[in-house]
């Protein structure tokens, strides 16, 4: 857990519109109090969109010496579960944020929220309605045609108090009655047309058990929960903009003293090639289109973590995309850029070959092992170095040899010379082919034993440096290569998002890595030189090391070509 790291607020970057709102409330030199909350509903695992909201809420509090609560908005027991509660806490902590002693549940406030509903009844601002959900919606009207009043709208206060209490006591059947606000049936804002405050639900709640059989609607619980916690800025996504009059109406009509929280909406994060709805992600999990919530192809925080994303990379991503007031779609390659940038600083480099062809060094002694020095991370001197074994038989990538290459091919070719990373110059003398298929099975080379470490004694140079592993000492690993989970940029555009699933989003191959990897632990990230960043998967056992490819290198095949 990294609770120390500050959201990197670059000095030069301008304030986002929420920071502007905070700063505009400055009195003299003193900034207003900032107290935010992150309010997930525990009905699924968190995704990258939630990560943005977490960074925004906790980040704003941190930057203004305020506080941020974690509050579970657990008003719908039907879909909620402790499994989700636990995973959400783990993910928020992992992202590097700390709610300290401020872990709350909307369900803790059920009694208070109930009492406030009674206040509204007494003020003739709420009534018990016997209409079914279908009847309510058929009578709502349209934005230009006012709704039809419920025949129960003018029940007396006494009758409403009696019925509401009996609703609470479980005297009525599921769905037979609701408590509704009495607002304005002609309002152009449909949410103001006598919205439902309470419904009867006979469901076991993960915290309150069977104590309640009526549950407040999200709208009636959220603002009041904010008020109870002393929230100053209630940040939510744009779809709640039309709910804001309701949010304010409740606090006002109950008669809650000032100061009251202020609701501020921002644009939710949308990413290309990604679905971000919890309902859809649940469907992918439940129908086994992916292997669980933490499948490395999922945009969930646990999926990204398993893929090899770091908390820093997600926080930097959130900071880079900023906070917008209008809907937009962010290119998923920006997310990939952020993890690449972070792992470039942190991940140790190792050599590994994913698509091997054997090289035999004909002038190298049999059964001899030469220990060569390799640097762990050129970006971080403190990472030190290690030894890698060089032997007579090696593997290189098939792509690093061409029998009839074009002119600008600087890797291995018949008669050509190439530098092996951290090792020697080798020259291709001839190739051995499978007589039936013509496939190259061995490349025979000689090495220049004076070129140890990659420098020749006569000053001769080559343009290509390729990676390799010792065939005798390499560790065979299971490598999981991921591609985008969806084929099109906006998988939610079509009729059925599942029709857009990419059938090739997971490819499992064997890879050959330097022996060092035997000591690697699940969760560690490495850069396989020239191939990309890989993370040791939790499925790893003593006999089977499993790697996930987090992300490729930007210009995979040209970077190491030297002058």
Q: By CB under 6 A, is residue 107 in contact with ligand ATP?
A: no
Choices 5-13, 36-44, 310-318, 330-338 (CB under 6 A): range interacting with ligand ATP: 36-44
> By CB under 6 A, how many residues form the interface with ligand ATP?
14
Distance between alpha carbon 552 and the CA centroid of its chain, in Å?
A: 18
Choices 33-41, 219-227, 281-289, 442-450 (CB under 6 A): range interacting with ligand ATP: 33-41
Catalytic residue, from 278, 306, 340, 419: name it.
Answer: 278
CB of 277 to ligand ATP, least distance (A): 7
Which of 50, 177, 191, 243 contacts ligand ATP by CB under 6 A? 50
Q: By CB under 6 A, is residue 223 in contact with ligand ATP?
A: no
Residue nearest to ligand ATP (CB): 49
- Spatial CA neighbour of 244 closest among 229, 230, 223, 227: 223
CA distance 32 to 487: 47
Which of 193, 206, 244, 278 contacts ligand ATP by CB under 6 A? 278
Annotate 142-166 with three-state secondary structure.
CCCCCCCCCCCCCCCHHHHHHHHHH
CB of 240 to ligand ATP, least distance (A): 7
Q: Within positions 372 to 411, which residues make up the interface with ligand ATP, using CB under 6 A?
A: none
Strand 35-38 relative to strand 67-72: parallel, antiparallel, unpaired? parallel
Q: By CB under 6 A, is residue 299 in contact with ligand ATP?
A: no
SS3 412: strand
CB of 473 to ligand ATP, least distance (A): 47
Q: By CB under 6 A, is residue 269 in contact with ligand ATP?
A: yes
What residues are paired with 28 via a beta bridge? none
Q: By CB under 6 A, is residue 315 in contact with ligand ATP?
A: no
Residue 191's CB: how many other CB atoms inside 10 A? 18
Indicate the residue among 40 and 464 with the shorter CB distance to ligand ATP.
Answer: 40
Indicate the residue among 236 and 339 with the shorter CB distance to ligand ATP.
Answer: 236
Catalytic residue, from 207, 268, 325, 487: name it.
Answer: 268
Active site residue 41: yes
Indicate the residue among 51 and 129 with the shorter CB distance to ligand ATP.
Answer: 51
Token output for 92: 């928020």
Which of 18, 22, 36, 52 contacts ligand ATP by CB under 6 A? 52
CA distance 196 to 182: 9
CA distance 336 to 313: 9
Residues 88, 131 contacting (CB under 8 angstroms): no
Indicate the residue among 235 and 443 with the shorter CB distance to ligand ATP.
Answer: 235
Cis before residue 39, ω within 30 degrees of 0?
A: no
342-364: string of b/e by CB count within 10 Å (b at 16+)? bbbebbbbbbbbbebbebebeeb
CB of 479 to ligand ATP, least distance (A): 31
Instruction: Give the 3-state secondary structure percentages of the chain, helix then strand then coil, rounded to 5.
Output: 30, 25, 45
Active site residue 530: no
Residues 237, 268 contacting (CB under 8 angstroms): yes
CB of 460 to ligand ATP, least distance (A): 56
Q: Within positions 232 to 251, which residues make up the interface with ligand ATP, using CB under 6 A?
A: 236-237
Catalytic residue, from 33, 41, 442, 492: name it.
Answer: 41
Active site residue 278: yes
CA distance 401 to 420: 13
Q: Enumerate binding residues for ligand ATP (CB under 6 A).
A: 39-41, 43, 49-50, 52-53, 236-237, 268-269, 276, 278
Which residues participate in catalysis according to the annotation?
Answer: 41, 268, 278
């Amino acid at each position: 857990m990294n609770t120390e790291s500050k959201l990197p607020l670059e000095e030069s970057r301008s304030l986002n519109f929420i920071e502007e709102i905070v700063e505009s409330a400055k009195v003299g030199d003193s900034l207003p109090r900032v107290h935010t909350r992150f309010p997930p509903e525990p009905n699924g695992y968190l995704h990258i969109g939630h990560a943005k909201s977490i960074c925004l809420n906790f980040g704003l509090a941190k930057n203004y010496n305020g506080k941020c609560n974690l509050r579970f908005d657990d008003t719908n027991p039907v879909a909620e579960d402790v499994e989700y509660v636990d995973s959400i806490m783990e993910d928020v902590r992992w992202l590097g944020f700390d709610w300290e002693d401020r872990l709350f549940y909307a369900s803790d406030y059920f009694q208070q929220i109930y009492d406030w509903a009674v206040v509204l009844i007494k003020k003739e601002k709420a009534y018990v309605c016997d209409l079914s959900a279908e009847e309510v919606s058929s009578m709502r009207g349209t934005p230009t045609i006012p709704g039809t009043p419920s025949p129960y709208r003018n029940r007396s206060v006494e009758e409403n108090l009696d019925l509401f209490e009996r609703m609470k006591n479980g005297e009525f059947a599921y769905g037979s009655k609701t408590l509704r606000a009495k607002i304005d049936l002609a309002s152009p804002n449909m949410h103001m047309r006598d919205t439902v405050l309470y419904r009867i639900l006979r469901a076991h709640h993960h915290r309150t058990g069977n104590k309640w059989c009526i549950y407040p609607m999200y709208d009636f619980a959220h603002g009041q929960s904010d008020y109870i916690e002393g929230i100053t800025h209630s940040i939510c996504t744009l779809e709640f903009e039309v709910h804001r009059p309701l949010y304010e109406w409740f606090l006002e009509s109950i008669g809650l003293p000032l100061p009251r929280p202020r609701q501020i909406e921002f644009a939710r994060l949308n990413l290309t090639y990604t679905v971000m709805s919890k309902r859809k992600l649940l469907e992918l999990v439940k129908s086994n289109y992916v292997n669980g919530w933490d499948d490395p192809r999922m945009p969930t925080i646990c999926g990204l973590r398993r893929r090899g994303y770091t908390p820093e990379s997600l926080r930097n991503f959130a900071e880079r995309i900023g906070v917008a007031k209008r809907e937009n779609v962010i290119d998923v390659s920006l997310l990939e850029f952020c993890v690449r940038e972070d792992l470039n600083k942190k991940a140790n480099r190792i050599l590994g070959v994913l698509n091997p062809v054997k090289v035999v060094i004909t002038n190298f002694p049999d059964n001899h092992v030469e220990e060569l020095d390799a640097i762990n991370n050129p970006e971080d001197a403190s990472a030190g170095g290690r030894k890698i074994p060089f032997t007579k038989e090696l593997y290189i990538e098939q792509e690093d040899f061409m029998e009839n290459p074009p002119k600008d091919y600087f890797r291995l070719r018949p008669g050509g010379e190439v530098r092996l990373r951290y090792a020697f110059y080798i020259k291709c003398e001839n190739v051995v082919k499978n007589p039936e298929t013509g496939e190259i099975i061995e490349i025979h080379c000689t090495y220049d034993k004076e070129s140890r470490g990659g420098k020749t004694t006569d000053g001769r140079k080559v343009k290509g440096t390729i990676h390799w592993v010792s065939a005798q000492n390499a560790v065979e690993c299971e490598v999981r290569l991921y591609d985008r989970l969806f084929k099109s940029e906006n998988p939610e555009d079509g009729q059925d998002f599942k029709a857009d699933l990419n059938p090739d989003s997971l490819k499992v191959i064997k890879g050959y890595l330097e022996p060092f990897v035997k000591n690697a632990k699940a969760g560690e990230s490495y850069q396989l030189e020239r191939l990309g960043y890989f993370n040791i998967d939790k499925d790893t056992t003593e006999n089977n090391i499993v790697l996930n490819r987090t992300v490729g290198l930007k210009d995979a095949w040209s970077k190491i070509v030297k002058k």
